[in-house]
Amino acid sequence: DAGITQSPRHKVTETGTPVTLRCHQTENHRYMYWYRQDPGHGLRLIHYSYGVKDTDKGEVSDGYSVSRSKTEDFLLTLESATSSQTSVYFCAISESPLGQGASYGYTFGSGTRLTVV
């Protein structure tokens, strides 16, 4: 996806270990988001950021933390991975706070498939 990359693309980790997923953008967009996608649940917001060091919780934030020290990077950390956190994780960016007349929508990264065993 142009301007937004996620790493790693795939990861298998053991229960109880910490895991950090990275989202990097070159679009200089202010807003960044982390979602997880699971069968039967669709896309659910974990955390989002509206600027450097400005973050807030989403619908399913328990067990996750985020950091944004630079405009271009938004990190998602699973402090102690559990099997319920096995999922596909998507990062998304947007130019503006969606809904304020914005026509931009989201641009999504390619996703990270995380398996916790």
Q: What are the beta bridge partners of residue 23?
A: 6, 74
- 79 touches other proteins by CB under 8 A: no
Is 113 strand, coil or helix?
strand
Q: How far is the CB of 44 from other proteins (least distance, A)?
A: 8
Q: By C-beta, is 1 or 27 nearer to other proteins?
A: 1
Single out the residue of 43, 65, 71, 86 in contact with other proteins (rule: CB under 8 A): 43
Question: Is residue 9 at the binding interface for other proteins, with CB under 8 A as the rule?
Answer: no
What DSSP element (H or E) covers 44?
A: strand 42-51
Taking the complex as a whole, the smallest distance from the CB of residue 90 to other proteins amounts, in Å, to 6
DSSP state of 85: G
Write down the H helix ranges in 3-117: none
Binds other proteins (CB under 8 A): choice among 90, 93, 114, 116: 90
Q: Which two tokens stand for residue 16?
A: 């109880």
